[in-house]
A = this chain, B = another copy of it.
Amino acid sequence: MKKDILMGVIGTGRIGKLHVENINRLVPGGRVIAVADVMIEQSRAWAEEEGIKYIYNDYNELLANPEVEAVVIATPTNTHAEVAIAAAKAGKQIFLEKPVDLSLDRIHEVMEAVKAAGVICQIGFNRRFDHNFRRVREMVENGKVGDPYVIRVTSRDPAPPPISYIKVSGGLFVDMMIHDFDMVRYLSGSDAVKITAKGANLLDPAIGEAGDIDTAVVTLEMANGAIAVIDNSRQAVYGYDQRVEVFGSKGQAIAYNDKPSTVELYTEETVSTDKIRYFFLDRYTGAFIDQFVAFIDAVNGQSEVVVDVLDGLRAVEMALAATESLHTGKTVELKL
């Protein structure tokens, strides 16, 4: 039997904790033995309950632990690059939450550090591992839809984040649509060459006052000729609306929303079903696990890294270009 990959998780906020629990319960071949967080005292009881052996305040101590082969970086965005570069220098295999950084220069530094260290670095675009979207991608890869002509991605949150978050998030394109930019690249197998963004503040004037939009439609002209269109909203009152569609020369693949049950109720008034899943933790449960299954495979050399730093870079480039397009009212060209 193959030895488990021993892992450390840096950053034990909500997502960091989820990663630890998923890896230790549900990801064969991976085991978290160390965690680090600048506010580790708030997580110590949880970490002990989980049976974590090494509990650090300073992530450098975790990186110095020779038992740790691979790290998961789930710290705030503005520390991603620093921690990732340190991890690379320490020779650890890296799983890094998105976005890599908001500065393209810093992302390039991460790329170089990873390359120099000869380690792998997988970016946390978990939606690539979603059962529905992966199935659509398979159909594109297997030629079932032919050459992609139009890609459509709908992604709407059930409720907007707090205004305090919106003020520092970098804006809708950076904190929310970045997943969809990656999805368009994943589904189409191509890169955007031109981006045109339209947006509006329709939900809550406070969002506009904070300098952001809450509704957006972005059109992407892809290198392979396809046209992609993404629409986002900060609030779909009916739940977490996550759908994709690839239309091509041989057909079309559509991924609809997930629902908790298949039950239909027929009454005198109407025919109804369950609401769609409400929250990303319900919707992407399997994807959160499967991205680590893929990471463990890559660490073990059994497969290539599915989402690398270049993918992380491209998504940020697209988010920044969309932001520029929104502000200038013009189409922005991307240099690949």
**CB neighbours of A274 from chain B (8 A):** 135, 270-271
Any chain B CB within 8 A of the CB of A250?
yes
**CB neighbours of A131 from chain B (8 A):** 260-261
Measured between alpha carbons, how far is A240 from B238 in the docked complex, in Å? Answer: 29
Contact: B152 with A231, CB < 8 Å?
A: yes
The residue in chain B whose Cβ has the minimal distance to the Cβ of A260 is B131
Measured between alpha carbons, how far is A198 from B261 in the docked complex, in Å? Answer: 32
Output the least CB separation between A106 and chain B (Å): 32
Contact: A229 with B227, CB < 8 Å?
A: no
Per the CB 8 Å criterion, the residue count for chain A at the interface is 72
**CB neighbours of A238 from chain B (8 A):** 251-252, 266-268, 271
Which has the most chain B C-beta neighbours within 10 Å: A145, A156, A219, A266?
A266
The residue in chain B whose Cβ has the minimal distance to the Cβ of A232 is B150
Contact: A261 with B255, CB < 8 Å?
A: yes
Residues of A within 8 A of B (CB): 1, 25-26, 49, 131-132, 134-136, 139, 144-147, 149-150, 152, 156, 196, 198-200, 202-203, 215-217, 219, 221, 225-227, 229, 231, 233, 236-239, 241, 247, 249-276, 329-331
In the assembled complex, 14 residue pairs joining A and B whose CB atoms fall closer than 8 Å, in A order, are A1-B49, A149-B215, A150-B233, A152-B231, A196-B198, A198-B221, A200-B221, A203-B249, A237-B250, A238-B271, A251-B266, A252-B266, A256-B263, A271-B272
